[in-house]
Structure 1
Amino acid sequence: MEYVHPPTGTLTTSLAALAAGVQPATIRDWVRRGILTRCGGTPKRPVYRVADVQAARAATKPTRPGQRVARAA
Structure 2
Amino acid sequence: MEPLFVPPGYLTAHQVAAQLGVGLPAVRQLVRRGQLPRAGGTPRQPYYAWADVQPLIRARRPRVPAAA
TM superposition score normalised by structure 1? 0.70
Q: What amino acid does structure 1 have at the position aligned with 2:46?
A: P
Q: Which protein is bigger by CA-based radius of gyration?
A: 2
8 A contact 1:16–1:53 mirrored in 2: yes
Q: Which residue in the other structure is 1:34 paired with?
A: 34
Q: Which residue in the other structure is 2:22 paired with?
A: 22
5 Å matches for 1:55-66?
Answer: 55-59=55-59
User: What is the alpha-carbon root mean square deviation over aligned residues?
Assistant: 2.3
Q: Which secondary structure state, in structure 2, belongs to the residue aligned with residue 29 of structure 1?
A: helix
Q: Which secondary structure state, in structure 1, belongs to the residue aligned with residue 47 of structure 2?
A: strand
Q: What amino acid does structure 2 have at the position aligned with 1:56?
A: L
8 A contact 1:12–1:46 mirrored in 2: yes
* Distance (Å, rounded) in 2 between the aligned partners of 1:58 and 1:29: 18
Q: Which secondary structure state, in structure 2, belongs to the residue aligned with residue 47 of structure 1?
A: strand
* Runs of at least 5 residues in structure 1 that lack an aligned partner in the other structure: 61-69
* Distance (Å, rounded) in 2 between the aligned partners of 1:29 and 1:58: 18
Q: What amino acid does structure 2 have at the position aligned with 1:14?
A: H
> Identity across aligned pairs (percent)?
44
**Larger RCO: 1 or 2 (CA < 8 Å, sep 6+):** 2
